[in-house]
Amino acid sequence: MAETAKGPILVTTFFRFEDLSDVKDALRDELYALKDLRGLVLIAAEGINGTIAGVEEAVTRFRQVLESRPELAGMEYKDSYCEKNPFPRWKVELKGQVIQYMDKFRPKGEHNHLSAAEWHALLKSDEEITVLDTRNRYETKVGTFRNAIDPEIDKFTEFTDYLDGCDLPKDRTTLIFCTGGIRCEKAILDMEERGFEKVYQLEGGILKYLEEFPDEEFQGECFVFDRRVAVDQNLDPSKQYWLCPHCGDPGQVEVNCAQCGETARICAKCEAEKPTCSKNCQYHYARVQAG
C-alpha cells in the first residue's frame, strides 16, 4: 500500500460536464465494480461528479477507467490525504443532473475560468470587484474568501432566488467560487442570462486555491461533504469541526452531554436546544425533563 507523509488514504474530487447519454449506464457498471474504493460518484447525461477515497493504487485504477473514455480524458482532480477513509461506503448512482439546478443551464467546455494565480492576483489588486460565494450558509460559516458576499442560502437551487432579489452591480467584475468548481459552472450561466457582464469563476474552486495559496485570502476552513467535515489551509482534515450529531451541520462547540456525561462537539444552535452527545441521549434526556 502506498503511503505518504499525509496519510495512506487519497481523497480525490472531480467533475466534468460532457454528454454521457450513450455511455452512462455502462460507465456506472464499470465504476461500481471497483469495490476497493469508497465515496460517491454521480453520473448523468450532462456529465460526472464525484469525490472518492482509497489507497493510491485503487484511486489510480479508477482514474484509468475514466481516462480510457474519450469523453473524460484529461479531467482535473483535486487531491488531499487523510489517515482514515472519510466515506462509509461505495456508491455510483445515475441521476438526472450531477448538480441540481435549473435544467435549462447546461455547461459546456471552459467558461470564464480564472486560475488560482489569476484569482489571487485580482483579490490583491486595487480593482473594484465583487466576490460572491455560491455555497450554502453552513459552508460559508466554516470559511470563505475575505470580503466575499454570502448569499445565505440553504441549498444551491436557492441561488437563483438570491439573484432575483440582489442588487449587485452588473457592470462590475464579479468573481464567483465554490468548493471544487461545479456549482459555479451553472451559476455563471444564470448570472450572464440576467445581464451580469463580467463574471469569472475560480477554476478548481477553493480546494485548488488552497493547494497553491494556503494562509492567504481564504479565511477559515473549507467545508467538504464527508466525514472530514472540513479541510484546513493545508488541505488536512479539520481538527476544529465535527458533524453535529443532531442536525449534521458543522459543529465546534464542545459540550458535556447532559444525559451521559460524554464529551461531544455540536453546533451552536443545537447546543442551546439539545445539550447532548447524540440523538439517543437527547431522546432519553427529553423524557427525563418532561417528567
Block residue for cell numbers 481523497: 11
Pairing of strands 9-17, 47-54: antiparallel
Backbone angles phi, psi at 231, to 5 degrees: -120, 150
Q: Single out the catalytic residue among 82, 166, 178, 281.
A: 178
Nearest to 206 by CA among 245, 175, 164, 252: 175
213-232 exposure pattern, b = at least 16 Cβ within 10 A, e = fewer: beebbbebbbbbebebbbbb
Burial class (CB in 10 A: 0-12, 13-18, 19+), 253: middle
Contacts of 47 (CB under 8 A, 6+ apart): 15, 16, 17, 18, 19, 20, 98, 107
Active site residue 260: no
How many CB atoms sit inside 10 A of residue 47's CB? 24
- Helix or strand or coil: residue 230? strand
**Distance between CA atoms of 179 and 15, rounded to whole angstroms?**
12
**Distance between CA atoms of 121 and 74, rounded to whole angstroms?**
26
- Helix or strand or coil: residue 289? helix
DSSP structural state of residue 87: -
Are the CB atoms for 71 and 18 separated by under 8 Å?
A: yes
The three cell numbers of residue 262 are 460524554
Q: Which residues are catalytic, by number?
A: 178
